[in-house]
Amino acid sequence: MAETATQPSRSRDLDKLLLRPGNLVEPTFEPGPGLRDDLKEYVKVLVVGAGGLGCELLKDLALSGFRELEVIDMDRIEVSNLNRQFLFRVEDVGKPKAEVAAKRVMERVSGVNIVPHFARIEDKELEFYSNFSIIALGLDSIEARSYINAVACSFLEYDADDNPLEETIKPMVDGGTEGFKGHARVIKPGITPCFECTIWLFPPQVKFPLCTLAETPRTAAHCIEYAHLIKWDEVHSGKTFDPDDPEHMKWVYNEAVKRAELFGIPGVTYSLTQGVVKNIIPAIASTNAIISAACALETLKIASGCSKTLSNYLTYNGAQGLHTKVTEFVRERDCLVCGPGILVELDTSVTLEKFIGLLEEHPKLHLSKASITHRGKSLYMQAPPVLEEMTRSNLSLPLFELMGKISKDIVHATGTTIKNDKKTSSLIKLRVAFKGVDGVTDMDTAGGA
């Protein structure tokens, strides 16, 4: 080996793992200084979320050999973040999380470059996400996970035998915590189950029946939800409740107290009111540290092959003793998100406008207000107005022509669907095939492009 024992190096510890051959490693592992340099230069990692997990992830990745990082988060720093989001200080309250987090890590780890994005994940184009080698998720919402998962799976392409094409796989690592518990998982779309394949792991929250709230309240939470869901609308006609407005929260609390007194129910406190209304998940630094570290370690393994990867779901529970468990979940063959895509067969005469209408009527999709992208090119965009205007003229053109007259190809549609009575942004991958056009055209077009 070229290195001597005494030469001081910043990567003293990491080098042992990256420069030395090993037996319990991935077949792709090629130890050496080249690997170390490649991690620095060519592996771009996106961290989604700059909260409890995101802060830890940025630190862990910056100290695990990665140099090119980006982070996206739409939130601003709040006082209640400070018990675990260690990159933030009291004086940072109100500033965008992504920006402060990126700055703090760059200040301490020289050579690391972190680009912050103070934005909603839905506001970035697909193109943005396609730039990263690996996406690390530090999120606390199912909707956001679902969205990023769909984005990563949208890049996935299959060959003629329905086998995933290696170079189109965009790996994700995902972490989540609640109190002393957490999970870390590795998602390799097309190989391991995607978030949607195992959506049953995240059952929707049980809501109280409205008649219980209105007629037979029994618990403090019933009184709070009565004030929040029923009384608010009765009194404030038209004004929507804002959970972040302390005046609104106070009002709900006071009403809940009155109702609890009326029915002789104990236990309504301001803290409980906030917890119920905002559905606050308890969170502590230690659990976030454990889960993020597991995710960062897996990111390093995926990028370098320096050890086996987690296959594929780790749960951690520290509440009663300590329990860890690795479960190997399997893919859902017919998954709408990571599968080969929903096949839509069309006549070559179908216009883009008609196609968008079909997506709304499609029994499996019900996708309304869809924007359509083909091979990174926007065919029609619902927003912003400038883009809408620019792409509007495409609506009357046949989709077949817009797609370059090929017999079949992947098209991405983003729009809204209704999930659990809630409007959600959805991204759907479609396999569009045109009737009466044979495969030869396909080959010709591909060859000529």
Partner 1 sequence: MAEPKTKYDRQLRIWGDQGQAALEKASICLLNCGPTGSETLKNLVLGGIGSITVIDGSKVELGDLGNNFMVDESSVGQSKAKCVCAFLQELNDAVKAKFIEEYPEALIETNPSFFSQFTLVVATQLVEDSMVKLDRICREANVMLVFARSYGLTGLVRISVKEHTVIESKPDHFLDDLRLNNPWPELRRLAETTDLQVSDPISHKHIPYVIILVKMADEWAKSHGGNLPSTREEKKEFKDLLKARMIALDEDNYKEAIDASFKVFAPRGISSDLQQVINDGCAEVDSSSLDFWIMVAALKEFLAKEGGGEAPLEGSIPDMTSSTEHYVNLQNIYFAKADADFLAIEQRVRNILKKIGRDPNSISKAIIKSFCKNARKLKICRYRLVEEEFNSPILSELQKYLTDEDYSVAVGFYILLRAVDRFAANYNSFPGQFNGAMDEDISRLKITAVGLLGDLGCNGSTLTEDLINEMCRFGAAELHAVAALIGGIASQEVIKLITRQFVPMPGTFIFNGIDHKSQLLLL
74 binds, among partner 1, Zn ion, none (CB under 5 to 8 A by kind): none
Question: Which residues, at least 6 apart from 229, have a Cβ–Cβ distance to it below 8 Å?
Answer: 210, 213
Cα gap 358→356, rounded to integer Å:
5
Provide the residue type at 442 as one letter.
D
- Nearest-approach distance from CB 102 to partner 1, in angstroms: 14
- Which partner in partner 1, Zn ion, none is near 28 (CB below 5 to 8 A by kind)? none
User: Is beta strand 342-346 parallel, antiparallel or unpaired with respect to 422-434?
Assistant: parallel
User: Which one from 211, 223, 295, 335 is the annotated catalytic residue?
Assistant: 211
- Taking CB within 5 to 8 Å according to partner kind, which of partner 1, Zn ion, none is near residue 213? none
Find the length of the chain: 449
Buried b or exposed e, range 168-186, using 16+ CB within 10 angstroms: bbbbbbbbbbeebebbbbb
CB distance 82 to 90 below 8 Å: yes
With CB under 5 to 8 Å by kind, the binding choice for 194 among Zn ion, partner 1, none is Zn ion
Q: How far apart are CB 344 and partner 1 at their closest, in Å?
A: 40
**Minimal distance in Å, beta carbon 338 to partner 1?**
23
Least Å distance, CB 138 to partner 1, is 14
3-state secondary structure 193-218: CCCCCCHHHCCCCCCCCHHHHHHCCC
Q: Which does 338 bind (CB under 5 to 8 A by kind): partner 1, Zn ion, none?
A: Zn ion
The smaller minimum CB distance to partner 1, of residues 220 and 430, is found at 220
Residue among 280 and 343 whose Cβ is closer to partner 1: 280
Query: Which of Zn ion, partner 1, none sits in contact with 197, Cβ below 5 to 8 A by type?
Result: Zn ion
CA distances to 52, 108, 118, 248 from 83, rounded to whole Å, are 9, 20, 22, 25
The answer to whether 45 touches 68, Cβ cutoff 8 Å, is: yes
The residues that touch Zn ion, with contacts defined as CB under 5 A, are 194, 196-197, 335, 337-338
**CA–CA distance, 258 with 260 (Å, rounded to integer):** 5
Query: And the tokens for 3?
Result: 């290195």
CB-nearer residue toward Zn ion: 126 or 284: 126
Q: Which of 249, 279, 28, 261 is nearest to 140 (CA)?
A: 279
Instruction: Give CA–CA dist 196/391, Å, rounded.
Output: 31
Q: Say which residue the tokens 């207000």 belong to.
A: 369
The minimum distance between CB 255 and partner 1, in angstroms, equals 17
Whichever of 110 and 237 has its CB closer to partner 1, that residue is 110
Which sign, positive or negative, has the C-alpha torsion 101, 105, 106, 111? negative
- Give the integer Cα–Cα distance in Å for 84 and 53: 9
Residue 275 touches which member of partner 1, Zn ion, none, C-beta under 5-8 Å by kind = partner 1
Is 220 exposed, middle or buried (CB count within 10 Å of its CB: 0-12, 13-18, 19+)? buried
Least Cα distance to 64 among 118, 14, 22, 2 occurs for 14
Shortest distance, position 73 Cβ to partner 1, whole Å: 17
| Minimum distance of partner 1 from residue 287's CB (angstroms) | 7
If DSSP codes are grouped into helix, strand and coil, which group holds residue 434?
strand
Would residue 338 show up in a list of annotated catalytic residues for this protein? Answer: no
Catalytic residues: 211
